[in-house]
Amino acid sequence: MKRLVTTTVMAASLSALTLTGCSSTTGTGAVGVDRQQLLLVSSEQVLQLSAQSYAKTIQEARAKRVLDTNTAQLNRLKNIANRLVGQVGVYRPDAAKWQWEVHTIKSNELNAFVLPGGKIMFYSGIIDRLNLTDDEIAAIMGHEMSHALREHSRERLSRQYATQTGIGVAASIFGLSQGQADLANVAGDLGLSRPHSRTQEAEADQIGLELMARAGYNPQAAVTLWQKMQRASQGEPPEFLSTHPASSNRIANLQSLMPKVMPLYQKARR
Ligand SMILES: [Zn+2]
């Protein structure tokens, strides 16, 4: 993470938060994601929170002896991540140089996430219990990586910052100079683990589909993945689905994008 700043610098930079207005974090790619985003909080501030949050999760998992316990599974995920990261330049060239990281947690939970800046975490439960193929894992990972590429968490924090109540909240986060753990807790609270908006979800689906297709993973697997998710949600709703509802609307949208991404997949397979 090349642009990390120290906590002190970050706290000091609160006063430097300025209205940078609207811009878009990514290019449009083949599927055509083009939406202006409100970005008031800097990337550096979000990356700082993300790095601390990821480090804390890793530390806790290691303490419980559930971190990266299955080397074969970890390597499988790393291979998939590498192939997807090889394609991120289509959307934003700088992301090819991010310090992408992959870890696993041994847990029954159906969960996976990518934090801002490309910090990937998969719970073994989602892979084992849904019996995911490599293509389906690529669908989840591509979706989550797309949230990071589009800086959706930064956008959400910016929106909170822009609201009256958000100003106090943002000041308290970015003004914190002590207690990294506190900061990481706030990060978890403040959106790194909250549901994304429907617009953001649709964007992550779109971009994720293109990334997987270009990396040579069959985009149709995104449909079978969400069908599996839908079936899994009939019992106790899995953690992943609380932030990513597997609606039939989502599946229909994915299907409607197939004509755009299947040629990319076929080209990648040749
Ligand atoms: Zn999502």
Comparison of pLDDT for 212 and 26, the residue scoring more:
212
> Does residue 2 have a pLDDT over 70?
no
> Does residue 166 have a pLDDT over 90?
no
The Å distance, Cα 120 to ligand 1 centre, comes to 13
Rounded Cα distance, 163 and 114, in Å: 26
153-to-42, 84, 164, 242, 256 alpha-carbon distances in Å: 11, 20, 19, 16, 27
Q: How confident is the model at residue 28 (pLDDT cuts 50, 70, 90)?
A: confident
Other Cβ atoms within 10 Å of 18 Cβ, number: 8
> Does residue 129 have a pLDDT over 90?
yes
- DSSP assignment, residue 33? -
Q: Domain-by-domain residue ranges, the chain?
A: 2-269
Of 73-77, 172-176, 225-229, 254-258, the range with the lowest mean pLDDT is 172-176
The Å distance, Cα 143 to ligand 1 centre, comes to 6
Q: What residue type is assigned to position 135 of the chain?
A: D
CB 92 within 8 A of CB 33: no
Q: How confident is the model at residue 126 (pLDDT cuts 50, 70, 90)?
A: very high
The Å distance, Cα 132 to ligand 1 centre, comes to 18
User: Which of 143, 128, 26 minimizes the C-alpha distance to 80?
Assistant: 143
Q: Give the model's pLDDT for residue 12.
A: 34
Residue 200 makes CB contacts below 8 A (sequence gap 6+) with 147, 150, 152, 155, 156
Listed residues: CB within 5 A of ion ligand 1: 201, 204, 244
Q: Give the model's pLDDT for residue 34.
A: 74
Q: Give me 27's structure tokens.
A: 């290019």
Catalytically annotated residue among 101, 109, 136, 144: 144
Residue 210 makes CB contacts below 8 A (sequence gap 6+) with 29, 30, 31, 87, 90, 260, 261, 264
- DSSP assignment, residue 178? S
Of 34-43, 60-69, 84-93, 128-137, the range with the lowest mean pLDDT is 34-43
> Does residue 180 have a pLDDT over 50?
no
For the whole model, what pTM was predicted? 0.81
Alpha helix segments (H runs only) across 64-163: 71-85, 124-129, 134-149, 152-162
What average pLDDT score do residues 36-62 get? 86
The Å distance, Cα 185 to ligand 1 centre, comes to 21
The Å distance, Cα 201 to ligand 1 centre, comes to 5
**What percent of the chain shows pLDDT beyond 90?**
51
The Å distance, Cα 110 to ligand 1 centre, comes to 14
> Does residue 133 have a pLDDT over 90?
yes
Phi-psi region of 152 (alpha: psi -120 to 50; beta: other; left: phi over 0): alpha
To the query of whether residue 144 is one of the catalytic residues in this protein, the response is yes
The Å distance, Cα 210 to ligand 1 centre, comes to 15
Q: Give the model's pLDDT for residue 163.
A: 63
What average pLDDT score do residues 118-128 get? 95
Most confident of 106-110, 166-170, 220-224: 220-224
Q: Give the model's pLDDT for residue 50.
A: 86
Residue 89 makes CB contacts below 8 A (sequence gap 6+) with 95, 96
Q: Which long-range contacts (CB under 8 A, 24 or more apart) does 173-178 make?
A: 173/49, 174/10, 174/11, 174/13, 174/14, 174/17, 174/41, 174/45, 175/11, 175/14, 176/7, 176/11, 177/7, 177/8, 177/11
Q: Give the model's pLDDT for residue 172.
A: 57
User: Which of 193, 177, 175, 176 minimizes the C-alpha distance to 243?
Assistant: 193
Q: Give the model's pLDDT for residue 17.
A: 42
Residues 219-267 pLDDT 10s: 999 999 999 988 887 766 677 777 777 677 889 999 999 999 999 999 9
Rounded Cα distance, 189 and 191, in Å: 6
Q: Give the model's pLDDT for residue 246.
A: 67
Q: How confident is the model at residue 123 (pLDDT cuts 50, 70, 90)?
A: very high
Burial of 1 (C-beta count, 10 Å sphere; 0-12/13-18/19+) = middle
Q: How confident is the model at residue 216 (pLDDT cuts 50, 70, 90)?
A: very high
